[in-house]
Copies of this chain bind each other. A is one copy, B any other.
Amino acid sequence: MKQETLVKELQKLVGKEKVKGSIDWRLSYAYDGTPTGYKGIPDAVVFPENTEDVAKILSFANENRIPVYPRGAGSGLTGGSAPLQGGIVVSTEKMNRIIEIDEANLAVLTEPGVVTYDLQKEVEKRGLFYPPDPSSYKFSTIGGNIAENAGGPRCVKYGVTKDYVMQLEVVFADGTVANLGSKAVKSVAGYNLKDLIVGSEGTLAFITKAYLKLIPAPEAVRTAMAIFPKVEQAAQAVADMFKVKVIPTACEFLDKNSIVAVENYAKIGLPTHAEGLLIIEVDGYEAIVDELIHRAIDVCKKAGAIEVKIASDPKEREAIWNARRAVSPAIVQLKPKKINEDVVVPRSRIPELIKNVYKIADKYNLMVVNFGHAGDGNIHVNFMYEPHEEDRVKEAVREVFLLTLELEGSVSGEHGIGWMKKEFLPLEVKDALEKMKAVKRALDPNNILNPGKIFDL
């Protein structure tokens, strides 16, 4: 179908004002958060306002074999929402209402385009808590978080987005509208298609509503920092914390290069010879949080921490977190280019991961910075490089993925596969890949939903 015809047909379907076909609009929606730039330009950008609009668009696209690229805030890091082969970008920007906060049942019914942070603020007004907190939470949307099964620092205690999705209203590729899951806390009625859709990166269905579980907001929080001469000591502290029955809300790790970068950037007095820094947060009942943070700190001391600090007020808490927040702005000062991979390994394998990542960096003569969510083994491995080093970086990244799999980990903890990591997926999932493809063909036989993502058919 000609581009102009497509735009006109879509305008007839859902209304002129909801469909944009000019080159400026199309270019603006060719990008997402992936640092590689755009891969393709869509033929049209559509802003549906409700489920019916989405169903009409998908039915039409399915009949005419036109690719559809679901899009939240476009903040993904692996190209999940990037249009690859023309077609239609379908943005959830206009589907941004929180429909109902169901206080009696600790849940919220929302449209997919609501920004995660906005939803959190809204439920917090009622003493409730929506824990998933991807770094992008101030601009990424609930729909995008669900499509990518977003994690975040708090997931070591509270789990990932999937753990909060009770029911989804979705539109399948053929325009079928269905509710998956249940508003009841548990349900075993038929196949769990809900959790299949979560994390499927927009390739199996378009999410139009989500009924999300909330929990009572924790009464209190305590934050501490611990600095270790050796990376093994930091890893040991993480493991031992669980043994004294402390499940931290967050347990963030900075490696030597991160510490140096932050110190050079922010001058906050970090010891630049240290190999590991942990930021530990606990939350829960007022009567217990002090005990918990002390248990955590005792564990750190026993593991060999040379410096520990418990925040005594919100200002000190902010100061501790600022060290973590400074990592990203600090490291981009180091080199003009960066590639950030979010590998994840079983907690106990973190020291092996870090040591060997350094070896790989040495082998390819590259700068590497490691930091991330140590509590759940999810480490962001960042190679910082000059443009001419790109080929070596690619080799190094490949070795990091192989290392991760050797350590029984996963090539993506929270960023997804998108188009960026397609070549590495088969190394991890092996014979399950054909079964994933079979499911894709069953639910989207014409391959219109986000084609070219996760795997090629």
Contact = CB atoms under 8 A, between A and B. Distances in A.
Interface stretch (A86-94, A224-232, A241-249, A308-316): A241-249
A95 to B, nearest CB: 20
B291 A348 contact: no
Interface of A: 102, 104-107, 127, 148-149, 151, 155-156, 160, 162-163, 172, 176-180, 182-193, 195-196, 198-200, 204, 215-219, 239, 242-243, 245, 247, 284-285, 287-288, 291-292, 344-348, 376-378, 408-417, 421, 425, 428-436, 438-443, 454-455
A177 B431 contact: yes
Nearest to A409: B184
A363 B172 CA distance: 41
A192 B180 CA distance: 15
Given A176-B435, A431-B178, A443-B439, A105 B192 contact: no
Contacts of A178: 429-432, 435
A347 B148 CA distance: 29
A412 B187 contact: yes
A439 B378 contact: no
Contact of A191 (B185, B216, B454): B454
B190 A193 contact: no
Q: Which 7 A-B pairs have the closest CB atoms?
A: A187-B410, A442-B442, A104-B348, A195-B195, A185-B376, A178-B432, A438-B442
Contacts of A199: 188, 191-192
A415 to B, nearest CB: 7
A190 B431 contact: no
